[in-house]
Structure 1
Amino acid sequence: MNTTTGAVGASRPRLEGQDKVTGRARYAADVPVPGLLFGAPVLSTVSHGRIPRSTRRRPGPCPA
Structure 2
Amino acid sequence: SYYFNWPSGPAIVMVIFSLFFLAFLFSPTQGILTEPAIAGRPAKLLTLLKELLRLNRG
| TM-score > 0.5 by shorter chain | no
Q: Report which of the two structures shows the higher radius of gyration computed on alpha carbons.
A: 1
Provide the TM-score with structure 1 as the length reference: 0.28
Higher helix share: 2
Compare relative contact order (CA 8 Å, sep 6+) and give the higher one, 1 or 2.
1
Provide the TM-score with structure 2 as the length reference: 0.29
